[in-house]
Structure formats: structure tokens, C-alpha cells
């Protein structure tokens, strides 16, 4: 299986490592706007070959578009008209706008829209690691609009990574990821900005920071180049979730002003219910 990965960063690079280790891919081609990233991937033997887009597409059995979501929106109209029997898939964190785009493109049936729910706060080929995807879920959207053999190949690829598979439509995906991923990143970015503002006066605040703070603010290290397009494409859903989040924060603030600690205790008891979902 020859697999071409467009975008050799955290996700694309980690996929390359695991697809080679699992035996799913015997030859991996890297395509990236950064020659430096390609050279690093070649030196680490994460990829076997570096190509330009058209050559990488022509040689591939499977093409994985692992770029930021705005770049994927630009690339797919270039890629899909040139497809013969190849399967093309993406790994983007937003889906509905992309699905609207590909719906009018040639060879739509050779495209499979996916989102592996895995990652770290780091970015770039330097961050690529083995076993990033093991035990995690991937979402496949609008599988009914893709050829059965294309979906089967993509499912087999994800199974080789040790992933579990869920099926959603694009709208469901974008709502759910706004709740479980996108709001977490906004909250982390906001907390980092709050603490950085305080740090201007009190450098010691970071000396006192606990592991709990570090884990809470970890996502603020995430790439703005990746997350700005995600927020742009999923703006309406993120706004809805952010409004709910602000409302809950306001409840805590109001109860603190009133010194109603019994009510605060009850809110925290209710919040502990997350243990049933995330043991």
C-alpha cells in the first residue's frame, strides 16, 4: 500500500509512523509546503519519499490530507478532479463546510471525510510520535456518499492504528466537537492570557504553579495556525457552547458574591458527574 500524506506535522507524521509500524503502508510519500519539514521526516525515516503534490497523488493508493482545515479546503478542489482509483481522506477537526465543498466536486465518491480524535498540544514534524491514536475514536462523516470500497479502506487504515470508529453527519460532528474539544481550547487560551497578564507583576506565580494548573492550561500551547481556521469554520457552534460556558461561570461568580457556598458545593457535586463519562 502506497500512502501519500499531505501535511507532515503532528497528525500526518504520527500517522506515517504508525501506518509503517502496523504494516498497513509499505511506502509512505510526504507532501508538504515546508521543505524543512520534509527533510526532517526523511532523516527520521518517517517518510520514504518526498514529492510535489501531483506526483504524490499519482503514485498513491491512499491520499491523506493532514493539513490545517483551511488549507484542506483549498487543496481538495485541486486533488479530487485528478483522482482515478485512489482513495482520498482528510483528518480535519471541522466537517460541515468541507462536506458542503466536496459535494460539488468531481470524484466525490472517492473521498472519505474523517476526524481522528487524537492529538497533543505540540505541532510540527518534531512532535510526531508512535501510538498517538491507539484506543482513541475516529469519526467518519457521510460515509453513505463515499464508495463502499473507499470507506472500507479507510476503516481498515484506522483499525491498523488501533482506533475505534464512530459515524456521524457533518452537523452532529461539529456540534459534538465544539463541546468536547473546541471549548476546551478556548478556555485554555483564555486562562493562559489571564495568568500571563498577572505574571507581568508577579513572576513568582509560575514558580507556584501546580501540576493541576499545568494540565488545565496545557492546550494553550496549541498552534494558532491550526486553531484559528477551526474556530472560523465552526464559529456558530463554538459561540453557542461559549455562551453556555460563560453562563455557568457567571453562576459561580454570582454565588461567590453572595457567599452562597452551599450552592457552590452543589454545583461541584453536579460537576463530579463527569466521572461517569470519564472514569
Closest among 2, 5, 11 to 31, alpha carbons compared: 5
Containing structural domain, residue 215: 173-276
Q: β-strand 49-50 against 137-141: which pairing, if any? A: unpaired
- Residue 217: per-residue pLDDT: 86
Q: Answer yes or no: do 130 and 213 share one domain.
A: no
pTM higher than 0.85? yes
Q: Answer yes or no: do 118 and 52 share one domain.
A: yes
Domain termination site, one of 146, 169, 192: 169
Q: β-strand 87-90 against 137-141: which pairing, if any? A: unpaired
What is the CATH number for 137?
A: 3.40.50.720
Q: How far apart are CA 25 and CA 38, in angstroms?
A: 18
Q: Answer yes or no: do 162 and 216 share one domain.
A: no
Q: Answer yes or no: do 132 and 260 share one domain.
A: no
What is the CATH number for 251?
A: 1.10.3660.10
| Cα angle value 43/117/83 (rounded, 5°) | 65
- Grid coordinates belonging to 155: 476503516
Question: What is the arithmetic mean of pLDDT over 107-132?
Answer: 95
Q: Answer yes or no: do 82 and 108 share one domain.
A: yes
**Quick count: other Cβ atoms within 10 Å of Cβ 272?**
9
pLDDT in tens, 219-277: 999 999 999 999 999 999 999 999 999 999 999 999 999 999 999 999 999 999 988 88
- Asked if residue 77 has pLDDT above 80, the reply is yes
Question: What is the arithmetic mean of pLDDT over 101-125?
Answer: 95
- Residue 166: per-residue pLDDT: 96
- Residue 205: per-residue pLDDT: 66
pLDDT in tens, 9-67: 999 999 999 999 999 999 999 999 999 999 999 999 999 999 999 999 999 999 999 99
- Residue 204: per-residue pLDDT: 65
- Asked if residue 155 has pLDDT above 90, the reply is yes
How many domains would you assign to the chain? Answer: 2
Q: Answer yes or no: do 28 and 116 share one domain.
A: yes
Q: Answer yes or no: do 158 and 177 share one domain.
A: no
Q: Answer yes or no: do 216 and 136 share one domain.
A: no
Q: Answer yes or no: do 155 and 200 share one domain.
A: no
CA 19 to chain centre: 18
Task: For the chain, give the secondary structure using H, E and C.
Answer: CEEEEECCCHHHHHHHHHHHHHCCCCEEEEECCCHHHHHHHHHCCCCCEECCHHHHHHHCCEEEECCCHHHHHHHHHHHHHHCCCCEEEECCCCCHHHHHHHCCCCCHHHEEEEEECCCCCCCCHHHCCCCCCCCCEEEEECHHHCCHHHHHHHHHHHHHCCCEEEEECHHHHHHHHHHHHHHHHHHHHHHHHHHHHHHCCCCHHHHCCCHHHHHHHHHHHCCHHHHHHHHHHCHHHHHHHHHHHHHHHHHHHHHHHHCCHHHHHHHHHHHHHHHHCCC
Q: How far apart are CA 5 and CA 66, in angstroms?
A: 7
Domain termination site, one of 147, 169, 191: 169
- Residue 194: per-residue pLDDT: 87
Question: What is the arithmetic mean of pLDDT over 98-127?
Answer: 95
Q: Answer yes or no: do 191 and 230 share one domain.
A: yes
Q: Answer yes or no: do 181 and 140 share one domain.
A: no
Domain termination site, one of 130, 154, 169: 169
Q: Answer yes or no: do 132 and 258 share one domain.
A: no
Question: What is the arithmetic mean of pLDDT over 156-175?
Answer: 97
At residue 203 the predicted structure's pLDDT band, cuts being 50, 70 and 90, is low
Give just the sign of the alpha carbon dihedral 200, 203, 208, 210.
positive
Poorest-pLDDT segment among 3-7, 117-121, 254-258: 117-121
Asked if 21 and 45 count as a contact pair (C-beta separation under 8 A), the reply is no
Percent of the chain exceeding pLDDT 90 equals 86
Amino acid at each position: 500500500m502506497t500512502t501519500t500524506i499531505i501535511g507532515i506535522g503532528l497528525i500526518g507524521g504520527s500517522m506515517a509512523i504508525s501506518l509503517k509500524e502496523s504494516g498497513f503502508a509499505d511506502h509512505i510519500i510526504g507532501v508538504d509546503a515546508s521543505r524543512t519539514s520534509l527533510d526532517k521526516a526523511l532523516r527520521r525515516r518517517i517518510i520514504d519519499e518526498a514529492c510535489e503534490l501531483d506526483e504524490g497523488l499519482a503514485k498513491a493508493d491512499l491520499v491523506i490530507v493532514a493539513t490545517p482545515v483551511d488549507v484542506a479546503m483549498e487543496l481538495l478542489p485541486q486533488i479530487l478532479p485528478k483522482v482515478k482509483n485512489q482513495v482520498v481522506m482528510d483528518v480535519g477537526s471541522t466537517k460541515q463546510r468541507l462536506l458542503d465543498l466536496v459535494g460539488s466536486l468531481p470524484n466525490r465518491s472517492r473521498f472519505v471525510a474523517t476526524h481522528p480524535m487524537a492529538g497533543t498540544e505540540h505541532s510540527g514534524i518534531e512532535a510526531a510520535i508512535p501510538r498517538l491514536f491507539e484506543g482513541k475514536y475516529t469519526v467518519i462523516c457521510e460515509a453513505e456518499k463515499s464508495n463502499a470500497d473507499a470507506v472500507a479502506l479507510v476503516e481498515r487504515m484506522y483499525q491498523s492504528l488501533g482506533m475505534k470508529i464512530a459515524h456521524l453527519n457533518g452537523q452532529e460532528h461539529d456540534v459534538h466537537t465544539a463541546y468536547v474539544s473546541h471549548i476546551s481550547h478556548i478556555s485554555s487560551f483564555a486562562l493562559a492570557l489571564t495568568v500571563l497578564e498577572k505574571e507581568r507583576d508577579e513572576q513568582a506565580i509560575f514558580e507556584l504553579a501546580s501540576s493541576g494548573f499545568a494540565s488545565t492550561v496545557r492546550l494553550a500551547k496549541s498552534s494558532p495556525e491550526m486553531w484559528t481556521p477551526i474556530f472560523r469554520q465552526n464559529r456558530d457552534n463554538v459561540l453557542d457552547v461559549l455562551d453556555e460556558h460563560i453562563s455557568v461561570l457567571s453562576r459561580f461568580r454570582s454565588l461567590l458574591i453572595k457567599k452562597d457556598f452551599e450552592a457552590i458545593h452543589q454545583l461541584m457535586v453536579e460537576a463530579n458527574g463527569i466521572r461517569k463519562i470519564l472514569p
